[in-house]
Amino acid sequence: MYKRQIYVLDISANAISRAKTRLGEKASNVNWIVSDIIEFAPSVQFDFWHDRAAFHFLTTEYKIEKYVQIALQAIKINGVLILGTFSKNGPQKCSGLPIRQYSEVTISSRFEKEFKRIKCVEEIHKTPFNTQQYFLFCCFKKK
């Protein structure tokens, strides 16, 4: 039988703590990791990697390339990578921090050597503050 293992990584210990509280007893079924993504050294390989809004905070070429290399090592062959980033219509900052905006072409160019792009979609996300954020979600499969 296939055993499901879920890993959650966040740079903020406070965010992890809040997520654990929300999950209650189910939190014990998750492997919690407090780390900067570019310092993450995975001890396992993943079938599925979902990043909603971390990649766009990487604004230097070094950090972007480091992320790509970590994902490449951490995702199994035929594994799926889903990235959610701010689109070209999105803000230039988030929570006061600079971000990088992406188009289907610019994000695909970062991963296309080792991953096959499956699909990209743009989405307008309505925030709890009744504002709109423009996101790009792209799905890739590791070759």
pLDDT digits (tens, 9 = 90+) for 44-81: 999 999 999 899 999 999 999 999 999 999 999 999 99
81: tokens are 């990578």
pLDDT for the residue numbered 4: 80
pLDDT for the residue numbered 2: 63
Cα 17 off chain centre by:
19
- Regions of the chain where pLDDT drops below 50: none
C-alpha 123/C-alpha 138 separation (Å) is 11
Q: Is 60 left (phi over 0), alpha (psi -120 to 50) or beta?
A: beta
Q: What's the Cα-to-Cα distance from 15 to each of 8, 35, 86, 98, 99, rounded to whole Å?
A: 11, 12, 21, 20, 20
**What is the pLDDT of the chain when averaged over all its residues?**
95
pLDDT for the residue numbered 1: 55
61: tokens are 């070429």
Contact status, residue 42 vs residue 74, Cβ threshold 8 Å: yes
